[in-house]
Structure 1
Amino acid sequence: MIIVKIGGNILDNPERLQSFLSDFAQLPGPKLLVHGGGKIASAFGQRLGITPKMVEGRRITDAETLELVTMVYGGLVNKQVVAKLQALGCNAIGLTGADGNIMPATKRPVKTVDYGFVGDVAGPESINVTALEAIVEARLTPVFAPLTHDTQGNMLNTNADTIASVLATALAPKYKVQLVYCFEKKGVLQNAEDDTSVISHIHTEKYKTLKEEGVVNAGMIPKLDNAFAALQQGVAQVLICEAEALTSINTAHYSGTTISLN
């Protein structure tokens, strides 16, 4: 089972998205796609007069913004991706965490910041694996929008990296799961300004050092935290690479970052 998370900068670029989806459609065996879409939501919001509110790179999801992201993530972006995959011969089905009660979550409690309608997933034990397996066994390819629900009738905005990690750990007892984070960079970089400075392998101790040195910071930290959490809970392998590297992940030509516990 290959679980791929695709970043917003690829979704924003029609040519790169088409190329990525063509590669994804050709992956053998069962697969699952998780997408973001934050930049598209922000741009769409501006057209509607909704200004994005961000704290430390995280979106504040008030009631108005929740309506926006539900429309954009669960509707516009998700269905466009599904339609493009259908055109490529990949029988995809668009889902949120509310569909089939696959991924219930809880509204993030207010501490120093009130993030609004943002969902935190308890962990792999909260995933409705039976429903998800039924979809996969029917030879459908799930395409998840970054949305969950609180089981009380409310949708919740949820980090796409986290969704990919939790789905991977939930499916790990049934499948040998390979979790791939695809984005616009070639991998985790030693120098953010140098696209060729890819760190080929990061294990637990090296990750600690990279954080202490400030090499890994900001948005890369939650991505790597999710990667290590997935490995600790039975996921076979985690890779972080550019979208164009997807077809090379199981070859000697793979040039992104491989994450491992040791």
Structure 2
Amino acid sequence: MATTKHPLYIIKIGGNVIDSSENLYHFLKDLTAIKADKILVHGGGKVATQISASLGIETQMVDGRRITDVETLRVVTMVYGGLINKNIVAQLQRFGTNAIGLTGADGNTITASKREVKEIDYGYAGDLDNKSVNVESIEALLQAGFTPVFSALTHDGDGQLLNTNADTIASALAVALAKKYDTTLIYCFEKKGVLKDLDNEDSLIKDIDKAHFEQLKTEQVIHSGMLPKMDNAFSAIAGGVSAVIIGHAGDLKNISKEKPFGTKLSN
């Protein structure tokens, strides 16, 4: 007889939460209300850009991706792994969630390889593979009652920290931990979910399976900026993740109320 897997929520937050102390306060309170095991993943690009500017370090972006030279790596390590991560952990402790802030180097939880130089040199950017996540270390933290809070930093196993996309980290965690848990991956951002009309919040598409997604792509209904996130979501589902939810950070409270929110993607 198959044993039932424990539910696990892996939640990624974007700048609209991190950049507002009020939004972050309410979000972390709602996160605490989720009584199942949970993992939080965050970036903090806007803050890193602001602090870089104050230090006279130019931020270089290509197609929305940060070029991470040596000086930029120092900044994102301070901002992601320090300032933002520890602020989130302290706020979660305030609400009674026993959080522990991590980079991928802590507990050897997430390893990555430095991105190969092709047309563009992204510097110290990390790419993940299907062996990147150390399931045993993370499971030990969850079983000890901790809520891991991952910043967007990994390591190469040879002493080098790497700047790694937070969406990618969240997806890799969800797929790897799906072997042990009933994982739901949640991307929280500033819209209610996947919209038919980007300017109309009432045009929310509540449920999308793989066949429906292919149809929506063919009909060019979905905004192009959402397509990479959805492609990643369906890759995660193919990798064993139960469901992916894309929705507004302010609606996370619906999880603890067992009410649907945002757009639910499933097989």
Q: Please give the TM-score of this superposition, normalised by the length of structure 2.
A: 0.92
Deviation at 1:207, TM superposition (A): 2.4
Percent of aligned pairs with the same amino acid: 53
AA aligned to 2:172 is V
1:63 aligns with 2:70: yes
Question: Which of residues 117, 122, 132 is equivalent to 1:126?
Answer: 132
Distance 1:219 1:40, change over 3 A: farther
SS of the counterpart of 1:39?
A: helix
Alpha-carbon displacement from aligned partner over 1:19-78 (angstroms, at most 9, x marks no partner)? 000000111121110011111111111111122111111111111111111110000000
Identify which range, 112-121 or 73-82, moves more after superposition.
112-121
1:189 aligned residue:
195
1:122-172 deviation per Cα after TM superposition (whole angstroms, max 9, x unaligned): 12x331111111111100100000111111211111111110111011111
Which residue is equivalent to 2:227?
221
Flag as ranges the 4+ runs of structure 1 deviating above 3 A. 209-219, 249-253
2:185 aligned partner, one-letter code:
L
1:7 alignment partner in structure 2: 14
Residue matched to 1:29: 36
How far 1:254 sits from its partner (Å)? Answer: 2.3
CA RMSD of aligned residues (A): 1.6
**Residue in 1 aligned with 2:3?**
none
**For residues 93 and 219 of structure 1, what CA distance do their matches in structure 2 show?**
32
The count of aligned residue pairs is 260
Deviation of the 1:193 alpha carbon: 1.9
Please state if 1:82 is matched with 2:121.
no
Instruction: Tell me how far apart the structure 2 counterparts of residues 252 and 12 of structure 1 sit (CA, whole Å).
Output: 28
Provide the rounded CA distance (Å) in 1 between the counterparts of 2:100 and 2:241.
23
SS state at 1:177 partner = strand
CA contact (8 A) 1:105 1:150 kept: yes
Unaligned runs of 5+ in 1: none
Structure 1 pair 113–144 and aligned structure 2 pair: CA distance change class (3 A): same
* Residues in 1 aligned to 2:67 and 2:224: alpha-carbon distance in whole angstroms: 17
Q: Where does residue 96 of structure 1 map in the other structure?
A: 103
Give the structure 2 partner of residue 165 of structure 1: 171
